[in-house]
Amino acid sequence: MLRILKIGGNVLADPLALDQALSFFADYQSPAILVHGGGREASDLLKKMGHEAKMVNGRRITDAATLEVVTMVYAGLLNKQLVAQLQAKNCNALGVTGADGNLIRAHKRIVKDIDYGFAGDIDAVNTAGFKSLLEGGFSPVCCAITHDKQGQLLNTNADTIASSIAVALAAAYEVELLYCFEKPGVLMDAEDNKSVIGHLNPTSYAELKQEGIVHSGMLPKLDNAFAAIANGVKAVYVGNLESLGNGKATRLSW
């Protein structure tokens, strides 16, 4: 089974958690793809440069200055650090953006109520390109930068990238999609790590959203997870390394 592991910003910011996540990824004996963002690191650098990160409903507003910074952080420093650390664990990692090999093509998000700037909504995933990398023995490490094939880089939500890659490759592989972040799963009480919701379906998810139990940054993550389940991905799990490893993460199904 092809495993797609998405690691979040809090994991990236914690050296021990990151090392454990990379070991978890490297130890998997079948084809695997790692997807990462780096929002916290990008926000920190923006602040140092005199810019404030702007977020709406868990999504970043990407103006021109922000695009330069997220590209430097996501596609540069973070991506290559992850590749180097995976190589040290005997995982033949290869760092990519959506522009490399035309792997992920997107368009600048159309302005409706909110102008998200240079945010990219995905148009196509190059399934053959990813297959060739996997069959060549590489483990792609994908950052959250896409392109429009007209020369413009775009900032795309990493959860969306993970979901879109999973859906695209589901026609060729059995795919499991794992969203790894700092919590053991989706929680009934954000302050109680023991309140993991073991299973979610679209009905229960809608109820939790309406009640305000699930909100903010979890919304795009779960929206993308359910989109993957609806489009052929065999399994989606949300949790931390421990819960993903012991089967106690939140499982999503249709």
* Backbone CA torsion sign across 227, 230, 235, 237: positive
Interatomic CA distance for residues 167 and 157, integer angstroms: 15
Interatomic CA distance for residues 250 and 80, integer angstroms: 30
- Say how many Å lie between the first and final Cα of the chain, rounded: 20
Interatomic CA distance for residues 159 and 6, integer angstroms: 7
Percent of the chain with pLDDT over 70: 99
Tell whether pTM > 0.75: yes
Interatomic CA distance for residues 97 and 143, integer angstroms: 6
pLDDT at 58: 63
What are the residue ranges of helices labelled H in the chain? 9-13, 15-26, 39-48, 64-70, 79-88, 127-135, 158-169, 202-210, 218-230, 241-246
Order of strands across the sheet that contains 145-147: 120-125, 104-108, 145-147, 153-155
Low-confidence ranges of the chain (pLDDT < 70): 57-58
pLDDT at 108: 98
Amino acid in the structure at residue 146? T
pLDDT at 66: 92
Residues 196 and 246: beta-carbon distance below 8 Å: no
Interatomic CA distance for residues 245 and 182, integer angstroms: 14
Structural domains present in the chain? 2-252 (3.40.1160.10)
pLDDT at 55: 79
Interatomic CA distance for residues 51 and 49, integer angstroms: 6
